[in-house]
């Protein structure tokens, strides 16, 4: 960190006017005979170099470091709805095991809920070294204030170096609160995670509209927080003879925030979820009119596939937003995805890169989608699709 220190006693009226005139950003002003530098300052240091001698001093301050050896383990927050553990938890456990192998740290799971003992046992089969269970009636339903307090207790007592949280509605609400409480960084919607030997977690995600892949590191703070979407990573295989243990943690009264109380839970009807689809037909701007979607729907029906799209077609009002693939939509990992008239921007590719087989149809042979496709068909989909549909219906 750096700052500019003003020595008021070394300034007279001429010196004050000189300083004000020197600043190219207009960040220096004088109030009641006292010189001030506001937030417009860009640290160009012209006031130091060309101002009255010794009136402004550039000071570098050394931030206090942390002892990284005191922070051990890669921890995963367990998302639990009272009946089942969200599948993103298992995917994060798999990634946590990969990251922990670099540093030799253990893998922990933080489980909050009510009467969750049996579900906690199941987590051990995925390779968790220790499951920390906070079990109390007040934790039966998600309450962000109470869950934040419990999460903070876990961090304070166990001191994990890195924490992975699913980018669900609950996870996106909880993780920023906890990270802010510990004045540490949080990277949202990571697509790649890597671990350095010094326990710094490299969190990679698209930035600036997907034009770059930003590598974010939190070298001076612990713990390190990140959220990851469902279907980005793969769940590890189940171990028949788990070696991990369960540790029951105390939930004290001061952790329970009673300002929010769940009075009733109303279950919504099951919605479209392309994230779970095994076969997807996705369309983009290469489809010229809404009427042309009929042929594509016919192909989707023949393949028993879900229909999906890119963002421009959502903006046109052709599809429900829940059918969008990409960073601002859903992440999918089907066995087969057929893209029609999609160029393959970074945002879209990040949402379907995990597919087992990608078939791309596009007139532009240089389209980015062909860089990730397993099979590329260069040509007009209006000519290719009828032949493809005929082949599917004939079963050849």
- Residue 184 maps to which CATH number? 3.40.50.620
389 is in an annotated binding site: no
Q: Are residues 369 and 235 in the same domain?
A: no
158 is in an annotated binding site: no
Asked if residue 338 belongs to a domain, the reply is yes
Where helices occur in the chain by DSSP H, the ranges are 13-22, 46-50, 87-103, 117-124, 144-158, 169-181, 293-302, 311-315, 346-352, 369-372, 381-394
**How far does Cα 92 stand from its chain's mean position?**
12
pLDDT digits (tens, 9 = 90+) for 347-383: 888 888 889 999 999 999 999 999 999 999 999 999 9
3-state SS, residue 245: strand
Q: How far apart are CA 340 and CA 308, in angstroms?
A: 10
Tokens of 158: 């166990």
130 is in an annotated binding site: no
328 is in an annotated binding site: yes
Tell me whether strands 34-37 and 28-31 are parallel, antiparallel or unpaired.
Answer: antiparallel
Q: Are residues 343 and 386 in the same domain?
A: yes
pLDDT digits (tens, 9 = 90+) for 217-245: 999 999 999 999 999 999 999 988 888 99
How many CB atoms within 10 Å of residue 328? 14
**Would you list the DSSP string of 251-273?**
--GGG--TTS------PPPPPP-
Asked if residue 267 belongs to a domain, the reply is no
Give 282's pLDDT tier (boundaries 50, 70, 90).
very high
Beta-bridge partners for 166: 228
110 is in an annotated binding site: no
221 is in an annotated binding site: no
Q: Are residues 36 and 98 in the same domain?
A: no
Give me the domain span that covers residue 204: 72-253
Asked if residue 329 belongs to a domain, the reply is yes
CATH code, domain with 25 = 3.30.70.20
Query: Rounded to the nearest 5°, which phi and psi values hold at 154?
Result: -60, -45
Helix 381-394, helix 293-302: angle, nearest 10: 30
pLDDT digits (tens, 9 = 90+) for 23-58: 999 999 998 889 999 988 988 999 999 988 888 999
**Would you list the DSSP string of 129-178?**
SEEEEEE-GGGSS--HHHHHHHHHHHHHHH--SEEEEE-SHHHHHHHHHH
pLDDT, residue 86, reads 95
Q: Are residues 23 and 46 in the same domain?
A: yes
pLDDT digits (tens, 9 = 90+) for 385-395: 999 988 888 87
310 is in an annotated binding site: yes
CATH code, domain with 297 = 3.40.50.1220
Q: How many helices (H) and strands (E) does the chain have?
A: 11, 19
């Amino acid at each position: 960190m750096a700052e500019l220190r003003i020595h008021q006693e070394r300034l007279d009226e001429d010196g004050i006017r000189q300083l004000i005139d020197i600043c190219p950003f207009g960040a220096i002003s004088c109030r009641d005979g006292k010189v001030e530098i506001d937030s417009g300052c860009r640290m160009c240091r012209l006031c130091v170099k060309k101002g009255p001698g010794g009136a402004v001093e550039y000071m570098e301050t050394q931030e206090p470091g942390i002892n990284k050896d005191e922070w051990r383990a890669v921890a995963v927050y367990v998302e639990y709805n009272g009946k089942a553990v969200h599948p993103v938890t298992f995917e994060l456990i798999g990634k946590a095991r990969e990251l922990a192998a670099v540093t030799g740290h253990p893998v922990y799971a933080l489980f909050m809920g009510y009467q969750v003992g049996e579900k906690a046992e199941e987590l051990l089969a995925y390779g968790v070294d220790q499951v920390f269970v906070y079990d109390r009636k007040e934790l039966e339903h998600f309450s962000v204030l109470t869950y934040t307090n419990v999460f903070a207790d876990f961090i304070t007592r166990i001191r994990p170096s890195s924490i992975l949280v699913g980018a669900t509605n609950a996870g996106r609400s909880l993780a920023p609160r906890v990270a802010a409480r510990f004045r540490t960084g949080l990277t949202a919607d990571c697509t790649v995670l890597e671990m350095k030997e010094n326990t710094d977690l490299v969190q990679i995600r698209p930035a600036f509209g997907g034009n770059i892949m930003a590598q974010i590191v939190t070298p001076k703070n612990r713990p390190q927080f990140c959220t990851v979407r469902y279907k980005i990573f793969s769940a590890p295989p189940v171990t028949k003879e788990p070696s991990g243990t369960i540790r029951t943690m105390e939930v004290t009264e001061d952790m329970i925030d009673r300002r929010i109380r769940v009075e009733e839970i109303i279950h919504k009807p099951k919605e479209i979820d392309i994230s779970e689809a095994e076969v997807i037909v996705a369309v983009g701007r290469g489809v010229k009119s809404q009427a042309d979607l009929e042929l594509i729907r016919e192909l989707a029906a023949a393949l028993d596939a879900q229909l999906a799209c890119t963002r421009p077609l959502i903006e046109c009002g052709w599809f429900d937003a829940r059918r969008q693939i990409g960073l601002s939509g859903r992440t999918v990992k089907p066995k087969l995805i057929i893209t029609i008239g999609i160029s393959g921007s970074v945002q879209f590719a990040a949402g379907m890169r995990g597919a087992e087989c990608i078939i791309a149809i596009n007139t532009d042979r240089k389209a980015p989608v062909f860089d990730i496709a397993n099979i590329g068909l260069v040509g007009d989909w209006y000519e290719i699709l009828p032949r493809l549909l005929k082949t599917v219906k004939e079963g050849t």
